[in-house]
Amino acid sequence: ADHDAVEEVRPDTPVKPMTATRVKVNVSIPNAAERAAATGADGVGLLRIEHMILSLGKTPERYIEDNGTEAYIDQIVEGVRTVAEEFYPRPVRARTLDAPTDEFRQLDGGEDEPEEHNPMLGYRGIRRSLDRPEVFKYELEAFRKLYAMGYDNVEIMLPLVNDSEDVLRAKRLMEEVGIDTEKRSWGVMVETPAAALGIEEMAETGIDFASFGTNDLTQYTLAVDRNNENVADRYDAMHPSILELISQTIETCREHDIETSICGQAGSDTEMVRFLVNEGVTSISANIDAVRDVQHEVKRVEQRLLLDSVR
């Protein structure tokens, strides 16, 4: 890869991880990149693209209509570049657009968005992207540009996929814009029971990683709206059925040499961290404020596992 365009590779970057299980950090807005990198995290487990778009105050379609495709692509390039630069060469997992229509409806252009009774079950994530491939391809074009600039630490993550058909359709679009899917690291979020139960088939698509989006996986497995306070006491990412889905997925991924990680809120919870390290997850991504505690917990569990193995 051509590294020349990378402005600066910080010599003080702690490239050597503290633990066998990588501990990464979630980043929602590029402004938080410096603070996130200062945690000493082994990379970014989730960079949410939609905040870069939502902050423009317009739906992607309206922004493109008003400002043109190049401007749209540049917004994404700049947002991701800020984080990729800050973390280089540590990996930065950028997720393609995932906002529900009720959020888009509040923006300029929102009047053109579908009105949905259940936005969380609706037109969001990879569903929207595959239904509007021309817009999705501008996003992918931004990633292609970042690779051409030398940011080979950028990884592409696909939200809300249900099966290998979703994955293969997205993969074809990546290839159409000129992203080498053999060379680049890309993967999926596991956020529906369908994705967890279908991981065996998805493992054949060429993905490099699967990341548990436990915010959605909890909501869809338990049928508990993550934003509904009436059932908030039933919202439990540690429910045995969710742990079973996670456990099976990790095992299948291990057999296929696919990395596993978590990027949902539960990755910041020490109880979930203990469970995941015991299951052999590859990495855990936590909120900025939780990284330190997660690092310590991972270290503690790994040391205990090591002791148990020599006893």
Q: CA geometry: angle at 175 spanning 170 and 179, to 5°?
A: 110
Exposure on the CB side of residue 74, measured as CA atoms within 13 A? 7
Could you say which of 17, 30, 213, 267 contacts Mg ion (CB under 5 A)?
213
| Residue 272: both structure tokens together | 């979930």
What does the alpha-carbon distance between residue 13 and residue 230 come to, in Å, rounded to a whole number? 45
Interacting stretch for Mg ion, rule CB under 5 A, among 5-13, 41-49, 216-224, 274-282?
Answer: 216-224
Q: Interface residues for ligand PEP in 91-110 (CB under 6 A)?
A: 98
Could you say which of 32, 36, 46, 288 contacts ligand PEP (CB under 6 A)?
46
Q: Please state the closest distance from residue 95 (CB atom) to ligand PEP, in A.
A: 8
Closest to ligand PEP by CB, 28 vs 67, is 28
The contact pattern for Mg ion, residues 178-207, with x = CB under 5 A and - = no contact, is -------------x----------------
Hey, CA dihedral for 221, 223, 229, 234, is it positive or negative? negative
Could you say which of 191, 259, 269, 297 contacts ligand PEP (CB under 6 A)?
191
| Residue 203: both structure tokens together | 């493992």
Strand-pair partners of 93: 155
Count residues near ligand PEP (CB under 6 A): 10
Exposure on the CB side of residue 259, measured as CA atoms within 13 A? 19
Nearest to 282 by CA among 256, 307, 311: 256
Question: Per rule CB under 6 A, is residue 55 in the interface with ligand PEP?
Answer: no
List interacting residues with Mg ion (CB under 5 A). Answer: 191, 213, 216
List interacting residues with ligand PEP (CB under 6 A). Answer: 46, 48, 98, 191, 213-216, 263-264
